[in-house]
Amino acid sequence: MLDLVIKGGQVVTPQGAGFWDVGVQGEQIVAVALPGTLTEAGRAIDATGTIVVPGGIEPHTHLAHFISMHPDEDNHTLGPEDDTRGMVFGGTTTHVDFCFVRPGLSVQQAIEQRVARWKGNSYADYSFHVALQGQLPIPLFDQLQDAIAEGFPSFKVFTVNVLPPHPKRHPYRLDYGRIQLAMDKVAKHGGIMVVHAEDDDLVQFNYEKFREEKRTEGWLLPEVHTKLSEKLAFRRTIMLAEATGAGVYFVHTSAREGVEAVVEARAKGLPIYAETLHHYACFTADDYKTPRGFCYHTYPSLKFPDDQKALWDGLVRDGVSTTATDEFPTSLELKLRGRELENVTGGNLGAEARMGIVWTEGVVRRGMSLERFVAVTSSNAAKILGFYPKKGAIAPGSDADLVLIDPSIRKALAKSDFHVSDYSPWEGWRIDGWPVTTILRGKVVVANGKLHGDLRDGRLVSRKIDPAVLRRASA
Ligand SMILES: [Zn+2]
C-alpha cells in the first residue's frame, strides 16, 4: 500500500503537465498515474484546483554569514533554523549555501564546519557550494577533485572584491590565474564554476572616484557596480571557460549585457548558465530612492527597465536558467542601517517569496509555461548543480518533494504572510497564486498555513552533475 497519494491536481512532470495522481512510498515518488487509479494509500491529499510542482530549489543563500558591510560590528545573518522555516512555507524544499575556503583552511575543514552548523538545524534539505577566496596556495586546488567526489561539485569564485578594502573584510576576489586553475580542475573532474562576475578594476575605481567627488548616496550603486562591469567580467570569464573546457553558472545576473553574453555563449554550445534574482526582475534602480529602497538591494545592484526586460525574456524563453534569492536574512533595522555607497547592507530576504513571485510575475503576468516555471524554480538548478533527478522532478524514483500552488489566491502580501524576519521586501506586492502545501521527502511539512516540519527534517544531499550538463548548454 502507498503511504500517500496526491489526487486531482494538475501535475508538472518532465514529460509535461497533465492531470495525474502522484503516489508516494516512504521518501520517494513511486507512481504518476491516471486519476483515480491509486486507490490504496495511508493518506490522501486532495489537490483539486492546484498545480503540483517539484519542491523549489534555492541555489544561492548566505545563512549564518558575517555581515561585511558593517565590518566593525560582529553581525551575522539569521541561520538555517530561522530562514528555512520561510523556505518550506514558500515551497522551497532544498537550498544551497556556501562554505568559505580562505588561506589557512582546507576545503575539507570548510565543508565540515558548515555541515556541522546545519545538522539538526534545517527544515529543508541542503548542500554547499565551495567558495574559494583570496590568495589561496596553489597546491590547495588539488583538493577540488576530492570535494567533487564527496558530493560537492560546485565552486564559487568572485572576480571582484565587492566592497572597498577594509582590515576586517576578507578579500573575496580570486585572481584570474587561480580561476583558470580551478577551471582546469573542474573541467577534468566533473565540477562546475559558480561565478560572481564583475570587473574589479572598474568597481574599485568607481568607489574611489565617487569618494573623491564626495558623492556618497547609496542610490548611486548602479553607477559603481555598472552594466559595463558585468559585460567585461562575464565575457572574460566565458573566454577563460571556453579555453579550459569548464562549465560556468553565473550568479545574480543583473544586466542585459550579462544575459547577452550568456545567450551568445550558449548559441556556440558552451555549458554556460545564468541565474537571476526575483528582486532584480521586479525592482529597478529607481526603487533605491523610496523609503525602504535598500530592502531590494544586493550586489552588483538593481539596474534599469531595459535590463529587467532582458531578465524576463531570458526566464520566460531561454538564456536565464534559474531564479535565486542571494538570501541574506537580517532584521529590517539592520537591512536599512547603511544608506551610503560603502555601507548599504547587501543581500536579499525573499527565499520564502521566490516560488510565489515567479508564479505570479512569470506564469500569470508574462505567459511563462508551467514547464518553464518548474525549470526556473527547481529542475534547472537541480540539473546544473547535480541534484537531478533525485530532486527537481516529479517522476518515479525521485524524492517526494512536492508543492501545491493554489492559483486562486489573489491578494496583496502582508507581513503576516512571512515567517523569517520582522519584514519582507514583498509586503504590499499583489500576487495571483501562492504555495499552500509543501511535502519534503514524503512528509507534509506545511499545510493550511501550519508548520508540521521540524529542524531535524533537513538533510545534507550529495550531488553529482550529469556530464551532459557540462558538455553543452542543456538546462
Ligand atoms: Zn551571494
pLDDT band at 168 (very low <50, low <70, confident <90, very high): confident
Cα 137 to ligand 1 centre (Å): 24
Contact in structure between 385 and 58 (CB atoms under 8 Å): no
pTM for the model: 0.98
Cα 160 to ligand 1 centre (Å): 12
Cα 402 to ligand 1 centre (Å): 26
Rg (CA), the chain: 21
Cα 276 to ligand 1 centre (Å): 11
Between the two ends of the chain, the Cα-to-Cα distance in Å is 36
Cα 467 to ligand 1 centre (Å): 26
Ordered domains of the chain (ranges, CATH): 56-388 (3.20.20.140)
Residue with the three cell numbers 524544499: 93
| Residue 268: exposure state from Cβ atoms within 10 A (0-12, 13-18, ≥19) | exposed
Contact in structure between 189 and 144 (CB atoms under 8 Å): yes
- pLDDT over threshold 90, residue 70: no
Q: What is the pLDDT of residue 392?
A: 98
Average pLDDT over residues 330-341: 94
- pLDDT over threshold 90, residue 166: no
Q: What is the pLDDT of residue 169?
A: 84
Q: What is the pLDDT of residue 167?
A: 86
Cα 60 to ligand 1 centre (Å): 6
Q: What is the pLDDT of residue 34?
A: 97
Cα 62 to ligand 1 centre (Å): 6
pLDDT band at 465 (very low <50, low <70, confident <90, very high): very high
Contact in structure between 442 and 400 (CB atoms under 8 Å): yes
Q: Which residues contact 104 (CB under 8 A, 6 or more apart)?
A: none
Cα 398 to ligand 1 centre (Å): 28
Q: What is the pLDDT of residue 96?
A: 99
Q: What is the pLDDT of residue 31?
A: 98
Cα 59 to ligand 1 centre (Å): 10
Cα 38 to ligand 1 centre (Å): 43
